[in-house]
Amino acid sequence: MEDMTDSTPPRVLTVAGSDSGGGAGIQADLKTMMALGVHGMSVIAAVTAQNSLGVQGYWELPPEAVRAQLDSVLGDIGAQAVKTGMLASPVLVETVAEVLAGVDVPVVVDPVGVSKHGDALLAPEAVDTVKSLLLRTATVVTPNLWEVLQLTGVKVEDERDLRRAADAVLELGPTWALIKGGHLPGAPVDLLTDGTREFRLTAERHDNRHTHGTGCTLASAIASYLALGEDVPAAVERAKAYVTGAIAHGFPLGRGIGPVDHAWRLRQARSVATPATGG
């Protein structure tokens, strides 16, 4: 691996699916990484035909293509953190898990099961492979409530169920579990725990339907902050602040659900730097 200079930013690798609409998946991951000051790299596991109305179709890449991308990036450039998203099938989950088992950097697993619109992005037969192989490679796993149910059978109905859900997820092997409680009634609360330490993270609920890409964005932000040297609780806290702002600034796109705004801090800085002048 070539020596890096002080001018080389930390590197983060995303292994996920491509979103042709640009709001989620690989595209959201790379935008998040750039916004947070790290160099994003990508291994594309699947290609989706996707827009603001939903996912019209997806096509997996052959496992040898996914393995070649992983070997290419990790063998030459390396990474300070890895994030996984849509992996689609058992063979792709196995391929990625095998490589990540030998990687000595933080791994953030977003166990993507369905899209924002409810379209399936993980074959039912791949759930067991995620449980048995992928989650044990994770430094942090970031399931939403539906994914918790899919992975553990635990149904979270209120905030009191979050710890039980987290403990069930931790039994599958990750070091930390972040249970995303955004779909619960009331103020959104996420629970982060390694089984010993526990953190409850709250945020303002924004009345904005344009939230496409929130899960991908959060997981990529956590990976970015880990690559920048934060510990897990600090990385999750800072990532949640970033994604909360991105949700607040989500914008309409097409005829359906628009994306969160990955560049919200940049736009905010620009508006402060160039105030409107009277005519």
Catalytic residues: 180, 211, 213-216
Q: Coil, helix or strand for 106?
A: coil
Element (H, E) at 198: strand 198-202
Q: How far is residue 89's CA from residue 231's CA, in Å, rounded to a whole number? A: 31
Parallel, antiparallel or unpaired: strands 189-193 and 198-202: antiparallel
Contact indicator for 33, 16 with CB cutoff of 8 Å: no
Amino acid at 213: G
| Residue 265: HSE in the Cβ half-sphere, 13 Å Cα cutoff | 14
Task: Compute CA distances 95 → 70, 74, 105, whole Å.
Answer: 10, 14, 18
The two tokens of residue 273 are 């730097």
